[in-house]
Amino acid sequence: MARKNRPVAIVGIGQSKHRGHRPDINQAELVREAVTDALNDSGLSLKDIDCMVHGDMELFEGIHQPDMWHVLGDGAYLKSGFRITTGGTTGSTIACAADNLVASGFYDVVMALGFEKQEEGHTTTGITNMADPLWMREIQTGAITGATGLEWVNEFGEQRAEHAAAKMRVLMADNARRNPKAHLRINITEQTVLDSRLLAYPLRLLHMCPESNGACAVIFASKEKAKKFPQKPVWVWEHMTTHHEETFWRGGPRTEMLTQEVAARRIYKKAGIKNPLKEIGVFEMYDPSSWWQIDWLGKFLLTDRKTIMEMVERNAFAIEGEFPVNPSGGVVSTNPIGATALIRVAEAGLQIRGDAGEHQVPKNVEVAMASGFGGTFWTVLTLLKKEL
């Protein structure tokens, strides 16, 4: 990310209720829920929005150019607009695009809008059909793989490793029950997780993210505009996009850094962060499964697996812990794919504002980080801060 021409603030945050089934509304009405929520939160009206950046995975529902239909719900008729699709990173990509559009001076106020209504399509079919069955067979299973979990089992033993992943899944479920917008607000135990259906050892059904219906809207504004709007601003500090395409590697075990760690090192260097565990107050992480969550935490926080394991075991990642992760319940609780990564940014912003309600972390949050994941380990990191 280049140096900004001018500071950019998040001045409005909105979400629909995320659920597994929303037969009561169509896509445009689902979008409208999030847009209305963001406008109410910001104190703005549609006439204040200069541009709409729309994001979803259109092949999941099978609707071509849904942004054109959704103007009935988002109010973007005759406004400037962009439609962006980058897989699982879509939500974080539209946040980056909205930030850049305001920072560039092209627009003063931009709304990023991500959505998915997965019950109207078949997501797994969409994912697997994006890949050539011969040359891209490594990603034919979509996000379902037990390889990462097996590394933890081999290093720490089956019982300790499986209980760590189960413990984090229970923590996410506990957090989600505090969040009225979350999809899976379930009461589970570690044993419930361990007894759930095996998908690919040691990955189980309850380790995985669900298919959700939902939308998220975040309003970005220039510093000059933000001063005039009623909502307290959350400043976009930095964002970093990294694509290393690990899943296409055919040269044996990889020894170089994975994309998550590369992205983290780049954004920390750019922001001047030396100790992320001390300098970041909360992390809204894109966690497609509990195994990837515990593994990627080490990559993002530049910390070894032994330290992460010990932090899991002492509840360090709880809302009241030393380094809160996904107070919202995370992706394993809510996953409307086009909105999923934008929800991470939105929830990080709410934590800085102190407006997350029952899932608000008890400490003062000056800096928050959000991550997005998609495709072949594509990673987007966003840093937000309370003060310029």
In the block, tokens 């219906």 appear at: 213
Give the residue-averaged pLDDT of 292-321.
Answer: 98
What is the CA angle 301-302-307, rounded to 5?
80
Burial 58-75 (b: 16+ CB within 10 A, else e): bbbbebeebbeebbebbb
Least confident residue range of 61-65, 78-82, 349-353: 61-65
In the block, tokens 């037990």 appear at: 146
Asked if the model's pLDDT at residue 142 lies above 90, the reply is no
Give the residue-averaged pLDDT of 171-175.
Answer: 98
Angle between helices 305-313 and 158-177 (to 10 degrees): 60
Give the residue-averaged pLDDT of 115-119.
Answer: 95
Give the residue-averaged pLDDT of 268-282.
Answer: 97
Q: How high is the pLDDT of residue 136?
A: 61
Give the residue-averaged pLDDT of 200-207.
Answer: 96
- Report whether the peptide linkage leading into residue 336 is cis, meaning its omega lies within 30 degrees of zero: no
Q: Which residues pair with 141 in a beta bridge?
A: none
Across all residues in the chain, what is the average pLDDT?
Answer: 93
Least confident residue range of 4-8, 30-34, 277-281, 350-354: 4-8
Sign of dihedral through CA atoms 35, 36, 39, 41? negative
Domains of the chain: 8-124+212-228 (3.40.47.10), 132-210+238-385 (3.40.47.10)
User: Rounded to two decimals, what is the model's pTM?
Assistant: 0.95
Q: How high is the pLDDT of residue 1?
A: 44
Give the residue-averaged pLDDT of 75-104.
Answer: 96
Q: Where are the alpha helices (DSSP H) in 248-289?
A: 259-271, 276-279
Quick one: pLDDT band at residue 124, thresholds 50, 70, 90? confident
Asked if the model's pLDDT at residue 229 lies above 70, the reply is yes
The backbone region for 243, taken as left when phi is positive above 0, alpha when psi lies in -120 to 50, beta otherwise, is beta
Least confident residue range of 91-100, 131-140, 342-351: 131-140
Per-residue pLDDT of 26-64, as tens digits, reads 999 999 999 999 999 999 999 999 999 999 998 888 888
The C-alpha atoms of residue 235 and residue 256 are separated, in whole angstroms, by 33
* Percentage of residues of the chain with pLDDT beyond 70: 92
The backbone region for 223, taken as left when phi is positive above 0, alpha when psi lies in -120 to 50, beta otherwise, is alpha
Beta carbons within 8 Å of 18's beta carbon, 6+ residues apart: 181, 182, 183, 212, 213, 214, 334, 336
Give the residue-averaged pLDDT of 189-200.
Answer: 97
